[in-house]
Amino acid sequence: MAFEFTDDNFQTTAIDQEGVAVVDFWAEWCGPCRMITPIIEELAEDYKGKAVIGKVNVDHNPNVSMKYGVRSIPTILILKNGEVVDKQVGVTTKEALSKKIEAAL
């Protein structure tokens, strides 16, 4: 299951951690976000123990969204050792995200 990032835990779980974190910025009312949710859930299982893969609800966590300038959702950031190394805006395929994650690992 995908991790739930929040304004409160983002620093310790995505930024301060060594390794890769994949962060899906989404909202319940967003149709494309709902389309990508199953992909994020599958990737969370596929990369368990290799990367932290989770979601940030932009309506409930505005600080993280503002910090990264998220204006369109879904936006997926791939962080390595706290730094953004890749970004995907809009719906994409599991294969495309897997390639981005593999490149970051």
89: nearest Cα among 43, 8, 33: 33
Q: Is 19 helix (H, G, I), strand (E, B) or coil?
A: coil
> Does the active-site annotation cover 35?
no
Task: Please pick, among 15, 27, 30, 91, the residue that the annotation labels catalytic.
Answer: 30
Q: Which positions ≥6 away from 93 have C-beta within 8 Å? A: 39
Q: Which CATH superfamily is domain 3-104 in?
A: Glutaredoxin (3.40.30.10)
- What pLDDT is recorded for position 59? 97
pLDDT in 10s for each residue of the chain, 105 residues: 899 999 999 999 999 989 999 999 999 999 999 999 999 999 999 999 999 999 999 999 999 999 999 999 999 999 999 999 999 999 999 999 999 999 999
- What pLDDT is recorded for position 10? 96
Contact assessment for residue 74 and residue 32, using Cβ atoms and an 8 Å cutoff: yes
- What pLDDT is recorded for position 78? 98
> Does the active-site annotation cover 8?
no
Burial (CB < 10 A; 0-12, 13-18, 19+), residue 40, is: buried
